[in-house]
Structure 1
Amino acid sequence: MRNVFGLVVAAGFGLMAVVSSGVQAQEVGPHKMPVAEWGDEEYHVEVIPDAKAGTVTLLVYGDHDDLHKAKRKAIDAKSISVAFKSPALTVKAAPSPDKGDPAGKSSRFVGKAEGLDKLGKLEGTVSGKVGSKVYSGDFKQK
């Protein structure tokens, strides 16, 4: 009887492992804010709203390693948009290059918007065009 019980418990744990392996952890950036992935780990974009200032800052990183090393990557983009789900709010962010960004590229984008103080948990989509390639990725705050 004990062996059968052990198999049922083991099978139960195996089932739990399969179920939990389907849940993907959400990325968090160096500023502890949610991150959207663009392409197949090509870029990561951290979403940082500041309700007091009425701005959203989007920081661009390269691959997964760059993200976790806080190594930003300047891109050739005219703007990046972030669409928040709740409440529905879209912000267009313009390039705001940092000191180390090469001419014509930016690793930081900033947009202004009213209503940022009404945002709950951050969830939405970040979209942009880098060169001639269009990217879009979802983010969700833990």
Structure 2
Amino acid sequence: MKLNKITWLPLMTVAVFTLAGCQDAAEPTGDSGAPVSDLPPPTMDDHAGHNHPSEGPHHGDLVELGNEEYHGEVVHNEDADALEIYILDGSATKQVAIDATELTINVSHDGKPEQFTLTAKPDEGDEAGKSSRFVSDDKELMEHLDEEGTNPRMVVKINGKSYRGEITHSHDHEGHDHGHDDHKHEDK
């Protein structure tokens, strides 16, 4: 069956009105009352809409892992004379227990790479077989974290994916003693 031009015209008209809908219907509007299509596009900034804490829940320095999927919190536990790293969620506010048994810190000392391992030491509340806390009592590691130019980086595997993050140490805190004489804060 062949359709002629006279048959197509009414069919096309019906199709146009069906697809276009009634133009007098109310358009959805945004908060400003402008039609949604006239609103500016949403911002693409990853950091928009959420705040970053300046330190972790244990008052340690934060390390971004991935595209802020996780964070590491580096804590110098002076009471235990140990370095502790806590794995935190993307907001850097809650501990996340992972199935890794260790994490690694890579540093450059005197132009040579060195590697240190922190072992899992589950924190209270971590589920069985997982840990949100990793610990080392290696004094050399703790000294390297405070030295200029060592470029410490943390490496940890979470859910089968390797994450790396640069460890930076804030020296803008009072009353913090690193336990070695070459790094005292003195007033002149």
| Range into which the TM-score falls when normalised by the shorter chain | 0.5 to 0.7
For residues 17-64 of structure 1, the C-alpha deviation after alignment (integer angstroms, 9 at most, x for no partner) is xxxxxxxx9953233322111111111001123467442100111012
| 1:29-108 equivalent positions in 2, closer than 5 A | 29-50=56-77, 53-64=80-91, 67=92, 70-84=93-107, 90-108=115-133
Equivalent position amino acid for 1:102 in 2: E
Candidates 146, 166, 185, aligned match of 1:120: 146
Contact persistence 2:107–2:144 (CA under 8 A): no
**Gapped regions of structure 2 (runs ≥ 5):** 1-51, 171-188
- 3-state SS, counterpart of residue 41 of structure 1: coil
Compared CA separation, residues 55 and 90, structure 1 to 2 (3 A): farther
Contact persistence 1:36–1:125 (CA under 8 A): no
Moved over 6 A (4+): none
Compared CA separation, residues 33 and 99, structure 1 to 2 (3 A): closer
- 3-state SS, counterpart of residue 110 of structure 1: strand
Please give the TM-score of this superposition, normalised by the length of structure 2: 0.51
Deviation at 1:89, TM superposition (A): 5.5
Once residues 72 and 110 of structure 1 are traced to their aligned partners in structure 2, the CA distance between those partners, rounded to angstroms, is 15
Deviation at 1:91, TM superposition (A): 2.5
> Identity percentage over the alignment?
30
Please give the TM-score of this superposition, normalised by the length of structure 1: 0.65
- Count of equivalent residues: 114
Deviation at 1:135, TM superposition (A): 0.8
Deviation at 1:84, TM superposition (A): 4.3
**Gapped regions of structure 1 (runs ≥ 5):** 1-24
Deviation at 1:99, TM superposition (A): 2.0
1:138 is the counterpart of 2:155: no
Contact persistence 1:94–1:109 (CA under 8 A): yes
Q: Select the structure of larger CA radius of gyration.
A: 2
- 3-state SS, counterpart of residue 126 of structure 2: coil
Tell me how large the CA RMSD over aligned residues is: 2.9
Once residues 47 and 85 of structure 1 are traced to their aligned partners in structure 2, the CA distance between those partners, rounded to angstroms, is 18
